[in-house]
A and B are shown apart, each in its own frame.
Chain A
Amino acid sequence: MALIEIDQLNKIYNTTAVAVHAVRDVTLRVEKKEFLAIVGPSGSGKTTLLNIIGGLDNPTSGKVLIDETDLSTLSSSDLVEYRLQHIGFVFQAYNLIPVFTARENVEFIMLLQGVEKKEREERAIDLLKQVGLSKRINTRPAQLSGGEQQRVAVARSLASRPAFVLADEPTANLDTESAESLLDLMEDLNQKHEMTFIFSTHDERVMRRARRIITLQDGEVVSDKIVEQKK
């Protein structure tokens, strides 16, 4: 059974005078442990597709099943809970809570899950060590570099022990060194911890690392390739 099954997915925005078909008849399956990039030019529907997979947006038609759960059957409140328990998010602009330290940012999602304080602290410190920030545990985001902030965001996305991580343009704001280092980390987590990563990107650096690349154009899947990993 696939981790994610997407069947005949369509998303049409009617917010302007002209209806915009952002996602058109997308059908695909994502298996566990995949390291997948959804690529395409701006406006091709990458982010919309990612948002629908992440339960942040509703499709106009079609289905998204995650571990056999049909997201369209969940209420708004259940979707929030589902995201909390099953999906990790990494955003382009890091989006950490600025008044919290790195550890508190990672802990916060576990607090929402109701994890005990001691376990929260231990897991947060452990995750920050995994992403190479053992010396920056009690540092606030403003004192961290972009690459370090994104590493905290990765640690936060893993803190809830999700089924997969959705990363929307995670390297867009990073310099080459930070981007490569972040991708090393994500690859490592994928290979050693079997974490599934789904990227939305048009960054060549990510595409070079992805083992499967789905290309979107005008909301349609125009190619779906399994690729040899290249460095």
Chain B
Amino acid sequence: MLLALAWKNIWRNKKRSGIIVAAITFGLWGGLFSSAIMVGMTESMVETAISRNLSHIQIHKVDYDQNRDIRNFLPDGPRILSEIEDFGGVSAAEGRTLVVGMAASASSSYGVNITGIIPEDSKKITDIYSKIVEGSYFGTDKRNQIIIGTKLAERLNLKLNHKIILSFQDLQGGIAYIACRIVGFFKTNSSQFDEANVFVLQKDLFRILSTAPIVHEIAIRVQNIEKLDMVMASLRSAFPDLQIESWKDLAPELAYLSQNANIYMYLFVGIILFALLFGITNTMLMSVVDRIRELGVLIAIGMKKSKVFSMIVLETVFLSLTGGLLGIAIGMISIAYYGDTGIDLTAISVSLESFGASAILYPILPVAMYLVLTVMIILAANIAALLPAWKATHLVPSEAIRTY
């Protein structure tokens, strides 16, 4: 009955309650949706980076970070690669031959990272093949095929089937040249990546370098991302002399964003709730002031102050939860809708791509967030109720009864 009274009381002034419910609803919806966009963007940046070239785990020679010389390849790399392909928890692995060099066209030149790959293996690790916007992904049997990014093509003024000259240090310390024909252009979400990376077939590199297969980097996809740390530990144990790093080690800025996205999200929504708290307190204070005589009567006829306090808290919680749950519901629906269709931000795609985010954003919010938010609303309501409830319980019934 006390619950019923509290619920009925909040709807006595429908306009006033409606306004604060609307404020809570739209405030929370805005907070949730913004958070979902933020989380979606972070997830997109992480997933895009992993799919583009990062992979889940990379293996190098211990000092490769300090010395990216072509001669600093993994000793016995192909054998290690073969072992890793059969390693527990590993979904796929590819060996990459990495060379830093210059790409030159008839009109210009630019420093690039040249990656020698086996396309069939690479397809299991990266999604570059799906980012081909013109031409094909090593579709022919011809020698010296190359795919380059659209950004580099613009810089070097290159078209499909044009030739491009790559020059780089060979294994003996000299300079090697290879004239490649462009068979495809890729366009990823990162214009920086597209400008600085080219892909050639490993066999072409080995032929130019006159070497047996060499591998500088083994990129790995794990079967279950939740078990990444476990796979890492097993690999480190099996290959103690190699540098084994997860995507979090390789891209700490992304790991930081990913790990802290939830904290920012809670902080953001918390600030919104904090601001709403003043509105809720004001509404409830007005409600108490409007009912001074009635509350005085309740205390006079024998309603204990603790019950009066509980009633005001209940009213505040009901009011806040009505707006809060509506906000959560609208948030869930809109996040689910745009999570499926995506939000097209192609109008600002240039700036988004400059830091590796997709132009189509898919808002996403962990389910736990909704539960935590409900608890946060109840907590905020309890805080907002303190002042009005205190005022209500400190009424002097003999005076309150005579208030008109």
Residues of A within 8 A of B (CB): 51, 54, 56-57, 77, 80-81, 83-85, 89, 91, 93, 95, 97-100, 104, 107-109, 111-113, 156, 160
Give me 9 A-to-B residue pairs in the complex whose CB atoms sit less than 8 angstroms apart, sorted by A's number: A56-B300, A80-B302, A80-B304, A81-B304, A97-B5, A100-B8, A107-B1, A112-B303, A112-B304
Q: Once the chains bind, are B294 and A97 in contact (CB under 8 Å)?
A: yes
What is the CA–CA distance of A77 and B293 in the complex, to the nearest angstrom?
19
Nearest A residue to B1 via CB reads A111
CB contact under 8 A between A111 and B301, given known A56-B398, A95-B294, A98-B12: no
Q: Once the chains bind, are B9 and A89 in contact (CB under 8 Å)?
A: no
Q: Once the chains bind, are B2 and A111 in contact (CB under 8 Å)?
A: yes
Nearest B residue to A77 via CB reads B304
Q: Once the chains bind, are B5 and A109 in contact (CB under 8 Å)?
A: no
Q: Does B299 make an interface contact (CB < 8 A)?
A: yes
Q: List 4 tightest A-B contacts by C-beta distance, closest first.
A: A84-B302, A99-B8, A56-B398, A95-B297
Q: Once the chains bind, are B398 and A83 in contact (CB under 8 Å)?
A: no
What is the CA–CA distance of A111 and B1 in the complex, to the nearest angstrom?
8
Q: Render B1-27 as a binary contact track against A, CB cut-off 8 A, 1 for contact.
A: 110010011001000000000000000
Q: Does B155 make an interface contact (CB < 8 A)?
A: no
Nearest B residue to A86 via CB reads B302
- Contact partners of B131 in chain A: CB under 8 A: none
Nearest A residue to B7 via CB reads A99
Q: Which of B293, B302, B304 contacts A85 (CB 8 A)?
A: B302
What is the CA–CA distance of A112 and B307 in the complex, to the nearest angstrom?
9
- Contact partners of A100 in chain B: CB under 8 A: 5, 8
CB contact under 8 A between A104 and B398, given known A84-B301, A93-B293, A109-B301: no
Name the distance in Å between A42's Cβ and chain B's nearest Cβ: 13
Name the distance in Å between A159's Cβ and chain B's nearest Cβ: 10
Instruction: A81-B304, A95-B401, A111-B2 given; name 15 further pairs at CB < 8 Å.
Output: A56-B300, A56-B397, A77-B304, A80-B303, A84-B301, A95-B293, A98-B12, A99-B9, A100-B5, A104-B1, A108-B5, A111-B1, A112-B304, A112-B307, A160-B301
Q: Does B305 make an interface contact (CB < 8 A)?
A: yes
Name the distance in Å between A66's Cβ and chain B's nearest Cβ: 14
Q: Once the chains bind, are A54 and B300 in contact (CB under 8 Å)?
A: yes
What is the CA–CA distance of A104 and B304 in the complex, to the nearest angstrom?
18
Residues of B within 8 A of A (CB): 1-2, 5, 8-9, 12, 293-294, 297-305, 307, 397-398, 401, 404
CB contact under 8 A between A51 and B398, given known A56-B300, A99-B8: yes
- Contact partners of A95 in chain B: CB under 8 A: 293-294, 297, 401
Name the distance in Å between A153's Cβ and chain B's nearest Cβ: 10
What is the CA–CA distance of A68 and B257 in the complex, to the nearest angstrom?
73
Q: Once the chains bind, are B5 and A99 in contact (CB under 8 Å)?
A: yes
Name the distance in Å between A156's Cβ and chain B's nearest Cβ: 7
Which of A57, A99, A108 has the most B CB atoms < 10 Å from its CB? A99
Name the distance in Å between B62's Cβ and chain A's nearest Cβ: 74
Q: Once the chains bind, are B5 and A57 in contact (CB under 8 Å)?
A: no
Name the distance in Å between B68's Cβ and chain A's nearest Cβ: 76
Name the distance in Å between A63's Cβ and chain B's nearest Cβ: 18
Name the distance in Å between A56's Cβ and chain B's nearest Cβ: 4
Name the distance in Å between A95's Cβ and chain B's nearest Cβ: 4
- Contact partners of B12 in chain A: CB under 8 A: 98-99
Q: Which of B293, B302, B305, B401 contacts A83 (CB 8 A)?
A: B302
- Contact partners of B302 in chain A: CB under 8 A: 80-81, 83-85, 109, 112-113, 160
Name the distance in Å between B218's Cβ and chain A's nearest Cβ: 72
Nearest A residue to B12 via CB reads A99
Name the distance in Å between A162's Cβ and chain B's nearest Cβ: 10
- Contact partners of A111 in chain B: CB under 8 A: 1-2
Nearest B residue to A168 via CB reads B401
Nearest B residue to A107 via CB reads B1
Name the distance in Å between A143's Cβ and chain B's nearest Cβ: 15
What is the CA–CA distance of A97 and B5 in the complex, to the nearest angstrom?
9
Which of B1, B9, B294, B300 has the most A CB atoms < 10 Å from its CB? B300
Q: Which of B2, B5, B301 contacts A89 (CB 8 A)?
A: B301
Nearest B residue to A50 via CB reads B398
Nearest A residue to B402 via CB reads A47
Name the distance in Å between A2's Cβ and chain B's nearest Cβ: 23
Nearest B residue to A51 via CB reads B398
What is the CA–CA distance of A85 and B8 in the complex, to the nearest angstrom?
26
Nearest B residue to A108 via CB reads B1
Q: Once the chains bind, are A57 and B398 in contact (CB under 8 Å)?
A: yes
Q: Once the chains bind, are A80 and B398 in contact (CB under 8 Å)?
A: no
- Contact partners of B304 in chain A: CB under 8 A: 77, 80-81, 112
What is the CA–CA distance of A27 and B331 in the complex, to the nearest angstrom?
68
- Contact partners of B398 in chain A: CB under 8 A: 51, 56-57
What is the CA–CA distance of A97 and B294 in the complex, to the nearest angstrom?
7
- Contact partners of A112 in chain B: CB under 8 A: 301-304, 307
What is the CA–CA distance of A56 and B301 in the complex, to the nearest angstrom?
10
What is the CA–CA distance of A99 and B401 in the complex, to the nearest angstrom?
18
Q: Once the chains bind, are A91 and B297 in contact (CB under 8 Å)?
A: yes
Q: Once the chains bind, are A91 and B1 in contact (CB under 8 Å)?
A: no
- Contact partners of B2 in chain A: CB under 8 A: 111
- Contact partners of B5 in chain A: CB under 8 A: 97, 99-100, 108
What is the CA–CA distance of A61 and B393 in the complex, to the nearest angstrom?
26
What is the CA–CA distance of A57 and B299 in the complex, to the nearest angstrom?
12
- Contact partners of B301 in chain A: CB under 8 A: 83-84, 89, 109, 112, 156, 160
What is the CA–CA distance of A193 and B12 in the complex, to the nearest angstrom?
37
Name the distance in Å between B16's Cβ and chain A's nearest Cβ: 15
Q: Once the chains bind, are B401 and A91 in contact (CB under 8 Å)?
A: yes
Nearest A residue to B298 via CB reads A97
